[in-house]
Structure 1
Amino acid sequence: MRHPDFPSTVAVPPAWEASLRLAFAARGERTALVERRHRGPLLVQKPLYPEGGICHAVILHPPAGIAGGDSLEIGLAAGAGAHAVIATPGATKWYKSLGRAAAQRVTLELDAGARLDWLPQENIVFDDAHACLSTTLTLAPGASAIGWDAVVLGRQASGETWARGTLRMDTRIALAGSRRALWLESARLDAGSALRRAPAGLDGLNVMATLWAVGEGATPALAEALAETLPYRADLRAGVTRLEQDSHAMLLLRVLGARMEDVRALMVRAWSALREPIHGVPARPLRLWAT
């Protein structure tokens, strides 16, 4: 998709189209990666088992960034009783788009009793990028999931601001067989939007993140306990909300910050506190987070 303000006479490089399909199934006391199909530059490393029977997989995107016109599709299915942990080795970089939008669409499907930790590293949106991120999670009864998305507006490490571009984020979390979503959000942000400075918006902060935790353990008491640990200061603030539908519940954690390091540390602490109540499994920080 070409941005309307971009001159049509400027040559643009060809776009990448890539897809990855993963399926996990319980095999005795271990979860196995039973399907792994890919097209284009989107791969997964060999499964690892640092927690015994829980299957850990790392998604790789060899180009190391998403350019204008690129389209990435990631699909994951976890069978009954399976438990998978998905991560990425580094931040996803959204490059200057040369007038074209780039997109990443993630679809996660969990059967009864399945568990998922969806823990990608942050998205860094370069100046003049037009990024579209979409995540859809569908859970059968008894399934549980914890996941997050984090976005850095501009390359902070290089001193670059996000002065031009657009960001769109669509998220849908629903119960299998239900027409109503447990949580549905569609957000669009322009680089020049007044919301970036407004106190009711981003309030001048360039890092934002959302963590969702869905499962029977998402109780009011857990929400209150998490809320008591959250900071609220000028450069880092967070809040938690509990949502419920048809006896199913989820916790939604929102974070705004000035530095990705602080936001990441807060998200890891929250995941560590939520994992056992939500999944029934103690938290074990990923080795990737220490590299």
Structure 2
Amino acid sequence: MPDSTSPATPHEASAHSAWQARLRLGFALDAGVSRLVERTHSGPLRVQKPLYPEGEGVCHAIIIHPPGGVVGGDQLAVNATVGDGAHALLTSPGAAKWYRANGHVSGQHVALRAGAGAAIEWLPQESIFFDQACVRLRHEVELATDASYIGCDIVCLGRSASGETFNTGSIAQHVQIRRGGKLLWWEQGVLAAGGALMASPLGLAGHSVCATLIGVGPPLVPAVLAALREIKVPAGAAFGATQMKSLVVVRLLCGDSEAARHIMLAAWQLLRPALLGCDAVVPRSWNT
């Protein structure tokens, strides 16, 4: 996605006091309505009123970061718990922008929990990492034995529309998903700008956009998995879908964030009915 916001200047960065922003959300099922029953924050992370674009059974919450970008040293934390039988979808109003480090490490820690029969969806828009960004990302999901989850992550290295590449910096990622106390998914690594993984066929293979969608729920029927694998992608892109019992992973490597968004939405529209038992209603913020 093209970005018209410029990174902080050295003067702005020196005057910047790192934000320690925290947001805690709680959702509960009340007479058939998934309600936002807890909303506490410190620092610049907010959720405004809950939305119900697809009926009262699913609560949509748009997480807002008022500064509009993350500068070196900023630390963001989001903790969301969905009670038994409730369904929450968390998204963002626009792309997240991670600016250059200025000698400090930025970070984000997301912790999601879903109770018995509950469902939680983590569908932020893409994350743009500016050149010289130094970021640590941690994403943890704890699900009850029969809870469901869909999460999407689109990583854009540099700003291709502006001719900026990711030449200096690093991104450390840690993702773990547990269901019924059992570890389903564990992934961690460090992507160093200019490092071997940037060009390696075992890494990004020279692509600047990496998108991952992970779903947890009942095993997919063969027709759904086949349909996922038939999603059209741009020439030169790498795409695949893999099922491992109750977990399915969809991955894309390409050079266009807009194409990545459309492809991940297409995958989500196939997976959501199969895993969560409801039609895929695209969040309004994804259409702006």
Structure 2 length as normaliser, TM-score?
0.92
Match of 1:255 in 2: 252
One-letter amino acid matched to 1:237 = A
Q: 1:51 aligns with which of 45, 51, 54?
A: 54
Per-residue CA distance 1:134-167 (angstroms, 9 max, x = gap): 1001110211111111110002232211110001
- In 2: Cα distance, 1:116 partner to 1:192 partner: 36
- Does the residue aligned with 1:65 lie in a helix, a strand or coil? coil
> Residues 157-191 of structure 1, C-alpha deviation per residue, up to 9 Å, x if partnerless?
3221111000111100011333xx10000010100
Cα deviation, residue 194, structure 1: 2.1
8 Å CA contact retained: 1:232, 1:238:
no
> Take 1:171 and 1:16, find their aligned partners in 2: how far apart are those partners?
23
Unaligned runs of 5+ in 2: 1-12
Alpha-carbon deviation of 1:201?
Answer: 2.1
Q: Verify the 8 A CA contact 2:231 2:263 in the aligned structure 1.
A: no
| AA of the residue aligned to 1:41 | P
| 1:218 pairs with 2:220 | yes
Which whole-Å deviations, capped at 9, do the CAs of 1:218-238 have from their partners, x for residues lacking one?
Answer: 35553233123354731x221
Cα 1:113–1:226 change in 2 (3 A) is same
1:85-124 to structure 2, matched below 5 A, reads: 85-124=89-128
Shift of 1:11: 4.6
- Tell me if the contact between 1:230 and 1:238 (Cα under 8 Å) persists in the aligned partners: no
Aligned to 1:23: 26
Maintained 8 Å contact 2:142/2:181: no
Cα deviation code 1:196-247 (max 9, x no counterpart): 122332121100011001001435553233123354731x221111123xxx
Alignment identity in percent?
45
Count of paired positions: 275
- Residues 1:278 and 2:280 aligned together: no
Aligned with residue 200 of structure 2, among 176, 198, 201: 198
Q: Does 1:171 align with 2:175?
A: yes
Aligned 8 A contact 1:115 1:144 in 2: yes
Secondary structure of 2:220's counterpart equals coil
SS at structure 2 position matched to 1:289: helix
How far apart in 2 are the matches of 1:202 and 1:275?
A: 27
Asked whether the 8 Å contact 2:97–2:128 carries over to 1, the reply is yes
The residue that corresponds to 1:70 in the other structure is 74
Indicate if the aligned counterparts of 1:196 and 1:202 stay in contact, CA closer than 8 A.
Answer: yes
Which residue does the alignment assign to 1:240? 241
Query: What SS does the corresponding residue of 1:66 show, helix, strand or coil?
Result: coil
CA distance in 2, matches of 1:164, 1:12: 23
* 1:5 match: none
Q: Report the 3-state secondary structure (helix = DSSP H, G, I; strand = E; otherwise coil) of the residue aligned with 1:173.
A: strand
| Residue matched to 1:266 | 263
Which amino acid letter does the alignment assign opposite residue 28 of structure 1? Answer: A
Q: Which deviations, in whole Å up to 9, do the C-alpha atoms of 1:11-49 show, x marking residues without a partner?
A: 563211010000000011210000000000000011011
2:6 is matched with which residue? none
Unaligned runs of 5+ in 1: 1-9
State the TM-score, normalized to the length of structure 1.
0.91
Matching residue's letter, 1:209: A
Compute the RMSD of aligned alpha carbons. Answer: 1.5
SS at match of 1:263: helix
Structure 2 residue 150 is matched with structure 1 residue 153: no
Which of 34, 39, 44 pairs up with 1:36? Answer: 39
